[in-house]
Amino acid sequence: MRFEVHAPATNGDDRALVKLTEILTRVDDGLHTLVFEAPETLEQSRWFQHIVTFQQDIVRRSILADTYPSTPCSPTTTCTIKDPEDVYHARDLAYTPLTILVENEFSDGALIHAAVEAYASPEVKATWARGQKVQSRGWIFAAPSGTGQLPKKIDDLCSGQRNTRVLVVSDSDEDLPRRLRPPKSSKRSGKIQAAARRHHVRCFILPIREIENYLPDAFWDAWLAESLFRKKYTPTIEALKQLSPDQRDYIDMEGERRLKPGATLGPLFDGSDPKNPAPSASTIAALTASGTKNLKQRYEPTSTENRPANIWLLPDYIVAGKVTRADLSRRDRKRSLRKLVNLLSELL
């Protein structure tokens, strides 16, 4: 976050000045930035004269960084501190972690980690990494205790809270792209978005069906190559690669539900939509195989050959170069992961 300090706030009483110094500590931790509305008068202020030398140096570096930025600045959430009374709220905000609220902190968290690794600027990556090394944390993941409980979790988390540094991230759970959905159909994510609006917190809905739909061919190739025991998944993964981009976006990745009767077997797969030719009989057979060939992330942060924790490996694959930014972008045709990282850059 960016804290903009006006001159009256630097001349408050001793208690307010202590709180302002505590904000400076978070700046020194590398989590936030300070800018000053009147930097030319700052060294004559009560606050500057009462902080110690190394803290004065932090303030001077902040002024220089704002005057001569080394890199173009991303849009950043700003808290304005106009007078000593504002300092107390600002100090609480500086120590409130950004809560990233997701359905599953393990699998959803892995996709978010991977997106930061692939698309974030070096400065944002550094802030993201530091956010897990300090106390209190700069950001945390939080998740409800059950599937479909995200709206209630938003209500529970935000009700009565003064500082709601919350970002809600959810997949769409849709089984058709927007252009093929029936008119007046309700969004699957509608209750989540309504709860976020109710509490005035930011909400980002990933447009495709499930987070596993973001996994590119390069991921599956690397994953298969790591273990001979995974060869049994080869027909399913090869069939997945034969699908059209839309079909890849909206197929259910869970084996026992993949290509279930209903909307999923509609215009995306029956050949009635010109953009989506019907898959071959062999492709359909591979994709409707036994549930043991399940490609969906399990809830446990563990991996077995029959219940693979697939998406957990994505951030590591990106760091190792097994999956590149270009690979991820080919699956993220709507650039939604880039947009999510831009939003995180603004809120961190």
- Domain termination site, one of 94, 119, 147: 94
Task: Give 96-117 pLDDT, tens digit per residue.
Answer: 999 999 998 888 999 999 999 9
161 pLDDT more than 80 = no
CB environment 148-160: b (16+ within 10 A), e (fewer)? eebbebbeebbee
**Number of folded domains that form the chain:** 3
pLDDT for the residue numbered 291: 46
State whether 312 and 300 are in the same domain: yes
Asked if omega into 244 is within 30° of 0 (cis), the reply is no
Task: Give 178-201 pLDDT, tens digit per residue.
Answer: 888 888 888 889 999 999 999 999
State whether 217 and 207 are in the same domain: no
State whether 75 and 115 are in the same domain: no
pLDDT for the residue numbered 299: 46
Q: Which two tokens stand for residue 105?
A: 């902190």
Rounded to a whole number of angstroms, the CA Rg of the chain reads 24
pLDDT for the residue numbered 72: 61
- Domain termination site, one of 94, 114, 131: 94
Confidence class of residue 293 from pLDDT cuts 50, 70 and 90? Answer: low
Question: What CATH code is carried by the domain that includes residue 102?
Answer: 3.40.50
Report whether 90 contacts 13 (CB < 8 A).
Answer: no
Task: Give 130-147 pLDDT, tens digit per residue.
Answer: 999 998 899 999 999 777
Q: In which domain, by residue range, is 341 found?
A: 98-211+335-347
Report whether 314 contacts 219 (CB < 8 A).
Answer: yes
d(CA 335, CA 149): 27
**Among 93, 95, 101, 206, residue whose Cα is nearest residue 158:** 101
State whether 111 and 200 are in the same domain: yes
d(CA 82, CA 323): 47
- Domain termination site, one of 29, 64, 94: 94
d(CA 15, CA 29): 22
d(CA 16, CA 33): 19
State whether 167 and 229 are in the same domain: no
State whether 131 and 54 are in the same domain: no
Cα angle: 209, vertex 213, 218; to 5 degrees: 170
Percent of the chain with pLDDT over 70: 88
> For the purposes of burial, counting CB atoms within 10 Å of the CB of 172, is it exposed (0-12), middle (13-18) or buried (19 or more)?
buried
**DSSP 8-state secondary structure symbol assigned to residue 186:** P
| First-last CA distance in the chain | 6
State whether 143 and 241 are in the same domain: no
Question: Rounded to the nearest 5°, which phi and psi values hold at 101?
Answer: -95, 120
User: What are the residues whose beta carbons fall under 8 Å from the beta carbon of 320, sequence distance 6 or more?
Assistant: none
State whether 303 and 321 are in the same domain: yes
User: What are the residues whose beta carbons fall under 8 Å from the beta carbon of 28, sequence distance 6 or more?
Assistant: 55, 58
State whether 170 and 140 are in the same domain: yes
35: enclosing H helix or E strand: strand 33-36
State whether 103 and 205 are in the same domain: yes
State whether 108 and 77 are in the same domain: no
State whether 104 and 191 are in the same domain: yes
